[in-house]
Amino acid sequence: MMPAIEDAPGPRVLQVCAEIFPLLKTGGLADVAGALPLALQPLGVDVRLLLPGFEPILRGLEAPVVVATLQPPGAMQAAHGARLLYGRLPACGLWGYVIDAPAYYRRDGAPYEERGDNHLRFALLGWTAAALAQGLDPFWRAELLHAHDWHAALAPAYLRAAEAAQHRRLAGCVYTVHNLAYQGMYGAHLFGELGLPGHFYSVQGLEFHGHVNFMKAGLHYADRISTVSPSYAREIQSPEQGCGLDGLLRSRTAALTGILNGVDTRVWDPATDAHLPAPYDGADLGGKATCKQALQAELGLAGDAHAPLLCVVSRLAEQKGLHLVLQALPRLVEAGAQFALLGSGDAWMEAAFREFAQARPRQVAVRLGYDEPFAHRLIAGSDLILVPSRYEPCGLTQLYGLRYGTLPVVRRVGGLADTVADTRLETLDGEATGFVFDAFDAEALCAAVRRALALHRRPADWALVQRRAMAQRWDWEGPARQYRQLYRHALH
């Protein structure tokens, strides 16, 4: 009898992404890239990484060996003579390949900063992934490519081009959308620089309203598509959230799966978190009170144990609904709440939050930028975490909030809808884990927070919901099994 798909031996999988925690992080993609491979290994999947050689990643590569010298096609002359390195990434607990192309990746500034050659920098990532499915490393050949977001989206295209040229199947391919809004769009005149066959620039390929669209390549050429929550998988097939690609996604609905991200419990666990002033768990929440007291002192907030402390850890952008928080803040502060924010983004929003904090330093604190240890202290020491997004593919901060007993206030959209159960009278003794609202406006956000503040004034009921939230399982074991199943379908 043939083995069931889920019982069959795991394949050799190359995870292709542009960042990885803890070496380089600009968002949740890095958390997924660092946690998913580790969760797949106990399931028998042979996972290796492929990463661009940004300086923090190269510094984290231990005892690298040169696998090959790269000779990519098209206009990637700056990468000719670049090296593919292989070694261990001790901080990640993983083995992987790193593209050492100094002209493309070793430069000052943010990793995705556009200087006129991003189409080539990330085309090189996709081309190298396809080369590793063709035997570029004579000791290990990828059976399946798992490409993440637009940076890696040309990997399926280069793979299919190689298969057409060689008249044989080379590897399976899964493409994961982490945020459909960021697609990697470039002028049509740049297509010829990518070294892909001419007919790949068509409606059934990379062409998108007269532009080259990297993400469209991933969606079109991959065997299977995943995104990071079931609700988001449905939403992106609609004109409202499809970002112009909803028609293509509807045509591939049979190949599209929504798999919720998990929480890396090695990193996010209040019982063992070394960043916290005191540990705690659902059985003993005493340490959380200590964390709150320490956080108030650190931020210069009034040391009031009874004042509900609201936090935000986010990129400051309209998509994240942070302008709604700005509109709601005066009313929330008047209601007796404290507020603390960690994030960066739109300059006008940074200035507005900073100005508000300067006017009310004992009730509002703002830190601009990103600080991983402080993010842990902020979430642990707060009572509520606000995630009022216009759209949210999965969201991780609400999962961190649940795990740390910091109840989420979220809009009913994407992964937020899939992970937070609203607290109402009829759900208080059953499923409630946070507070959910529907309309994308400040009034709806305020109403949800007011419900939360009312519950906060009832300590026994508050602790009941806290403990239920902390008891939820959002680790990577379940998602890893779903990805393993998806790999099998992509191969078979």
The full 3-state SS of the chain, as one line of letters, equals CCCCHHHCCCCEEEEECCCECCCECCCHHHHHHHHHHHHHHHHCCEEEEEEECCHHHHHCCEEEEEEEECCCCCCCHHHCCCEEEEEEECCCCEEEEEEECHHHHCCCCCCCCCCCCHHHHHHHHHHHHHHHCCCCCCCCCCCEEEEECHHHCCHHHHHHHHHHHHCCCCCEEEEEECCCCCCCEEEHHHHHHHCCCHHHCCCCCCEECCEEEHHHHHHHHCCEEEECCHHHHHHCCCCCCCCCCHHHHHHCHHHEEECCCCCCCCCCCCCCCCCCCCCCECCECHHHHHHHHHHHHHHCCCCCCCCCEEEEEEEECHHHCHHHHHHHHHHHHHCCCEEEEEEEECHHHHHHHHHHHHHCCCCEEEEECCCHHHHHHHHHHCCEEEECCCCCCCCCHHHHHHHCCCEEEEECCHHHHHHCCECCCCCCCCCCCEEEECCCCHHHHHHHHHHHHHHHCCHHHHHHHHHHHHHCCCCCHHHHHHHHHHHHHHHC
| Distance, C-alpha 11 to centroid of its chain | 24
For residue 412, the model assigns a pLDDT of 98
The C-alpha atoms of residue 178 and residue 410 are separated, in whole angstroms, by: 19
Lowest model confidence (mean pLDDT) among 20-29, 187-196, 251-260? 20-29
pLDDT tens column, 360-376 = 999 999 999 989 999 99
- pTM for this prediction: 0.93
Q: Do domains 5-262+477-491 and 286-471 have the same CATH topology?
A: yes
Domain ranges of the chain: 5-262+477-491, 286-471
For the domain made up of 5-262+477-491, give the CATH fold: Rossmann fold (3.40.50)
28-40 and 477-491 helices cross at what angle (nearest 10)?
Answer: 80
The C-alpha atoms of residue 223 and residue 218 are separated, in whole angstroms, by: 9
* pLDDT-derived band at 309, boundaries 50, 70, 90: very high
For residue 7, the model assigns a pLDDT of 47
In this prediction, residues 467-476 reach a mean pLDDT of 96
Assigned token pair, 213: 């669209």
pLDDT tens column, 242-266 = 999 999 999 999 999 999 999 999 9
302, with CB counted inside 10 A (0-12, 13-18, 19+), is exposed
For residue 4, the model assigns a pLDDT of 40
* 70, 79 contact by CB (below 8 A): yes
User: How many CA within 13 A on the CB side of residue 115?
Assistant: 11
Residues forming a β-bridge with 176:
148, 226
The pair phi, psi for residue 19, each rounded to 5°, is -150, 160
The C-alpha atoms of residue 325 and residue 310 are separated, in whole angstroms, by: 11
Q: Could you tell me which residues come within 8 angstroms of residue 201 by beta carbon, excluding any fewer than 6 positions away?
A: 188, 191, 207, 212
The pair phi, psi for residue 371, each rounded to 5°, is -140, 105
Report the share of the chain in percent with pLDDT over 90: 94
The pair phi, psi for residue 284, each rounded to 5°, is -140, 100
Lowest model confidence (mean pLDDT) among 31-40, 43-52, 74-83, 114-123? 74-83
Query: What one-letter code names the amino acid at 315?
Result: R
Gyration radius of the chain over CA positions: 23
The C-alpha atoms of residue 386 and residue 366 are separated, in whole angstroms, by: 14
Going by C-alpha positions, the residue among 93, 37, 98, 41 that lies closest to residue 66 is 98
Q: How far apart are the first and last CA of the chain?
A: 17
pLDDT at 320 over 60: yes
Going by C-alpha positions, the residue among 161, 234, 155, 223 that lies closest to residue 196 is 161
pLDDT at 6 over 50: no
Lowest model confidence (mean pLDDT) among 74-83, 160-169, 279-288? 74-83
* pLDDT-derived band at 81, boundaries 50, 70, 90: confident
Task: Return the exposure string of 204-227: e unless at least 16 CB atoms fall within 10 Å of the residue's CB, then b.
Answer: ebbbbeebbbbbbbbbbbbbbbbb
Mean pLDDT of the chain: 96
Report the sign of the C-alpha dihedral through residues 234, 240, 243, 244, in that order: positive
Assigned token pair, 127: 């081309």
pLDDT at 15 over 60: yes
The CATH H-level superfamily of 286-471 is Glycogen Phosphorylase B; (3.40.50.2000)
For residue 78, the model assigns a pLDDT of 79
The C-alpha atoms of residue 277 and residue 341 are separated, in whole angstroms, by: 19
* pLDDT-derived band at 9, boundaries 50, 70, 90: low
* 397, 375 contact by CB (below 8 A): no
In this prediction, residues 158-173 reach a mean pLDDT of 98
The C-alpha atoms of residue 491 and residue 374 are separated, in whole angstroms, by: 42
